[in-house]
Amino acid sequence: MTDERVGRVLGTRDATTRAFRVLVDDDRYLQLDDLVELRTDVPEAGEVATYGIVTEVSATYEGATYDTDTRRIAEEGTLPAETVRTAEVAITRVDPEVWVSPHPGERVRRAVDAERDKALYVDEMRRPLPIGIGRDERPVFLDLDFFDGVKGGHMSISGISGVATKTSFALFFLRMLTGSPAVVGEGATNLRVLVFNVKGEDLLWLDRPNAHFDAAAREGWDRLGVTPEPFPSVSFWAPARARAGGVVVPDASGRLEGVEAFRWTPREFIDEGLLRFLFTDAGDQRNQLSFVEERVRSQLKRWAADLVGEPGAVVLRQPGPGGHTTPVADVDDGDLVVREFSDLVTALESLLDPTDGTDPDPAWTGRVQGGTIAAFVRRLYAAQHRLGHLIGAGESRRIDRHKSQVSVVAIQNLHDLAQRFVVGALLQEVFTEKEQTGQRLPLSVIVLDELNKYAPRDGASPLKEMLVDIAQRGRSLGVLLVGAQQTASRVAQEVMENAAIRVAGRLDAAEAERPEYGWMLPSTRARARLLKPGTMVVSQPSIPVPIVASFPFPPWATRAEEVDHSDDPDPFDAP
């Protein structure tokens, strides 16, 4: 075994239970993120091992008092001095747990092999999942118990946009998660992932090999113990295209084949109460709109009756005392038949704001001011324009999340209002399904970028409520949120606080100083603005200090140009 000694605990500054400095040996070096270990003979307690991670290194001339002494030492050589190199170490662990400071002068060694695992608590992790490569080229582990709900749940990823680290890391993490069934254990069975592609088209090629994937990247994946392959089981979903002439085709400009169109029938829209997700502007909760919406939502459920021969379509009729029990076979011109979203808008307008001047039925409006009704109807018209094409009668075209392990929902082409509608509808679907079973397994993972748009810090909306609910209760129900945002300070606090795993890529300098990043060490914060794409700071409850890790280049394509076509069948080959 090589001598791993790197120096001694410095005696001119206090060593504490949190940090100490190392005087680095002349023929050794310590760099940021290096792991070290030392033993202290503590009276009564015996030998105590201390583990730590290097957070800063410094060098100075010992013996120089004036700035110009540097010239006398280095250039003229007339002033004797010694170069002193020291390293600041944040303590990660003491074993046994006797919280004493290391003694000055103790020999400090690089922590390797088993000692390295102890420094990073890998020995105490029940299910260690590799989530990156440390600076020593060895895997850094995540205690999966803190992600999948056993002891904690959810992951929050922050970072400036443009360096593509947030989504890349989320996808990398998903690949590790889905590619390590042995580590994930029982949760790996029927694990389902719902990914929203909110901008660009980076996530539409997860099933295709990346032409730029090279040997160096392969080596990284080998270190992590996962075969570098595109996601094996992915389905892609895009909203139905507007004005498609009655045909349901997906609206995904970049990729067409293998992408399925989705939309909801009026029946599904009414049954699931999706109306609420049309009122997701933070301002909508301040006036009485939400009150009307609630009324209308429950009235629709009572009034909607199926139509014979027209799946998904409904007719709105006042129900008898037992409600509608059989589908309606005969409709005449006076019936409020809903086949499209526009039909619904027209029907609701006639119910809420009758053109004949009579008062609307208070069962629908709840006696609110006429202005509120008008505002409500205006919203419906606006929604019709933005997302009317997402509702239509016919066979159910909803997203089948059980078709494959990963479902990518491409909503990047939708208007903000429609994006929030789709996200809200799908989150509710996932959450309700799990609420009904009450079981943590199988796990359901949701990946959502631009979380600040869906769960903003200020204001209230049904969507934010939904996300807060998932953050607070999803852990025990196996609904795990992998949320990403450019600025954590703009995301609802309840959502941030409930994420057990926190990850940050490169941060804006001002953003890094905010209290939301209090989990980073001051030195890590200072570095956060310099992190390269592919390098992240990871904090998890089982390790008291954040760890810097990098993740390898993906084997799947993230752009159309990256797709490796070499394995495609030759179209001119005879079958």
Partner 1 sequence: MPSPRLVVESWDPSYGAPLAPDEALAPSEGQVDCDAEPGPWEPRPGEDDGVAQVCFVDGVRRIDARLAIPRADGMPIPGIAGSHAVGAVVWDRLGRRSEVDHIRTRRLAVFSSGAEAEVPGEPPVSFDVESEPSDDPDRLVARFHGSMRRAEAELIAELADHGTFVIGDGPVNDTRRREVVGYVKTHRVAYLPPERAGIVGQLAPGLRTPLFVLGAGGTFARWSWYQRLPLPEVRHAWSGVVRCEAPGSLPLVDAARLADRTAALLPLVAAPVHTDPRAPQNLVPIGALERRLRHALGDQRLVYRALLHAVEGAA
The site for partner 1 (CB under 8 A) is made up of: 63, 65-66, 68-69, 72-73, 75-81
Q: Minimum Å distance from CB 486 to partner 1?
A: 51
Give me the helix-helix angle, 370-387 and 341-352, nearest 10°. Answer: 170
Q: Least distance in Å: CB of 61 to partner 1?
A: 11
Minimum CB separation of residue 65 from partner 1 in Å reads 7
Q: Are strands 406-410 and 259-262 parallel, antiparallel or unpaired?
A: unpaired
- Given the complex with partner 1, which of 32 and 79 has the nearer CB atom? 79
CB of 77 to partner 1, least distance (A): 4
Of 91, 103, 97, the closest CA to residue 37 belongs to: 91
95 DSSP β-pair partners: 49
Asked whether the beta carbons of 263 and 422 are under 8 A apart, the reply is: no
Q: 81 or 242: whose CB is closer to partner 1?
A: 81
Q: Give residue for tokens 């205006």.
A: 378
- Name the residue nearer to partner 1 (CB basis): 65 or 325: 65
Tokens of 169: 């890391």
CA R_g for the chain? 30
Q: Which is nearer to partner 1, 73 or 495 (CB)?
A: 73
Closest approach, Cβ 66 to partner 1, in A, equals 5
State how far the Cα of 535 lies from the Cα of 90, in Å rounded to an integer. 20
Min dist CB 503 to partner 1, Å, is 47
Q: Which of 415, 412, 401 is nearest to 446 (CA)?
A: 401
Q: How many CA within 13 A on the CB side of residue 22?
A: 35
Closest to 23 (Cα-Cα) out of 8, 37, 3: 8
CB of 12 to partner 1, least distance (A): 12
In the complex with partner 1, which residue's Cβ is closer, 72 or 324? 72
- Residue number with CB closer to partner 1 (81 or 377): 81
In whole angstroms, the minimum distance from the beta carbon of 88 to partner 1 comes to 24
Taking the C-alpha atoms of residue 189 and residue 534, their distance in angstroms, rounded to an integer, is 29
Cβ neighbors of 275 (< 8 A, separation 6 or more) are 269, 293, 296, 297, 300
Residue closer to partner 1 by CB (options 82, 214) is 82
Sign, CA dihedral 125-126-131-132, equals positive
The closest of 258, 234, 235, 239 to 249, measured between CA atoms, is 239
